[in-house]
Structure 1
Amino acid sequence: MTLDDLFSAAREAMAKTHSPYSKFPVGAAILTEDGRVFTGANIEVVSFPEGWCAETTALGHYVMGGGGRITDICVTAERLDECTPCGGCRQRLAEFAPPDARVHLTDQAGITKTITMVDLLPLGFKTEILST
């Protein structure tokens, strides 16, 4: 899978959004080391903001699909270039993705910027502390 394919997967997921309240479609695609891709779109409910983000949807598919080592995450939004995951999604992604996982930000044509998870959430909660 190429990064262009990952971007396309995120765009295809975004097309399935349910965002009638914010009118802010977002799509995400997670790539694992073994080549599997898990996608998600943001889904809103009438008790806004009680819906969930595209990254959260993709993580749900990832967990239900058996997980694996995450290497790349692509996030795309219809109305905002280089849209980054919200704070909650940054922590959620950090729970499953290693610090060196690449996070790809986009415009409408493709990936424009790549950062790592540790750059995206440098001081996130460390889950290993909780298991000791």
Structure 2
Amino acid sequence: MNKDQLIEEAIGIRNRAYVPYSKFPVGAALRTKSGKVYTGCNIENAAYPVGCCAERVAIFKAISEGETEFEELAVAADTQRPVPPCGSCRQVMSEFFDRDTKIHLTNLQNNIKSIVMEELLPFSFQPSDLIDDK
């Protein structure tokens, strides 16, 4: 699956978003190193903090199916610029993505910004930061 197909998957899954409060559907498509694609859409809740973003839904679906190596992610929303992931998603992505994992951000006008994880969240908090070397 190439970048454009991955972006189409992200745009398509937006239609399944549950967004009665924000009216802001977001879709994500995650390709693993094995070639499988996991999609996600944002899911809101009346208790706002317990909703989940599209990026995390896709990542958590893949993890729950035993996938732990990721190749690239596409995220799509109806925004003026390519949609940036929120801070919570960036932290989750930094936990599971290599520094050079490709991330394609887009809007519905086909404005695409392709970056790697290190550019999205430089100097991120990592699991290795929890290890006590004393």
TM-score (norm 1): 0.92
* Cα displacement string for residues 39-81 of structure 1 (whole angstroms, at most 9, x for unaligned residues): 1000001112421100111111111121132111111012443
Question: Which runs of 4 or more aligned residues in structure 1 lie more than 3 Å from their structure 2 counterparts after TM superposition?
Answer: none
Is 1:50 equivalent to 2:50 in the alignment? yes
Opposite residue 22 of structure 1, the aligned amino acid is S
**Residues paired across the two proteins, number:** 132
- SS of the aligned residue for 1:27 comes to strand
CA–CA distance in structure 1, aligned partners of residues 36 and 86 of structure 2: 24
State the shift of 1:107 in Å.
2.2
Question: Which residue matches 2:32?
Answer: 32
Question: Which residue matches 1:69?
Answer: 69
Question: Which residue matches 2:112?
Answer: 112
Question: Which residue matches 1:95?
Answer: 95
CA 1:125/1:13 → structure 2, altered by over 3 Å: closer, same or farther?
same
Question: Which residue matches 1:10?
Answer: 10
State the shift of 1:131 in Å.
4.1
CA–CA distance in structure 1, aligned partners of residues 110 and 32 of structure 2: 20
- SS of the aligned residue for 2:4 comes to helix
Opposite residue 31 of structure 1, the aligned amino acid is R
Unaligned runs of 5+ in 1: none
The 10-residue stretch of structure 1 (17-26 or 79-88) with the greater mean CA deviation from structure 2? 79-88
TM-score (norm 2): 0.91
Larger Rg: 2
Q: Percent identity?
A: 39
- SS of the aligned residue for 2:50 comes to coil
CA–CA distance in structure 2, aligned partners of residues 81 and 111 of structure 1: 7
* Cα displacement string for residues 68-112 of structure 1 (whole angstroms, at most 9, x for unaligned residues): 321111110124431111001000011111000011011214461
* Cα displacement string for residues 6-53 of structure 1 (whole angstroms, at most 9, x for unaligned residues): 011111211100001001110111111111111100000111242110
Q: C-alpha root-mean-square deviation of aligned residues, in Å?
A: 1.4
CA–CA distance in structure 2, aligned partners of residues 63 and 111 of structure 1: 29
Q: Would you say the 8 A contact 2:100–2:116 is kept in 1?
A: yes
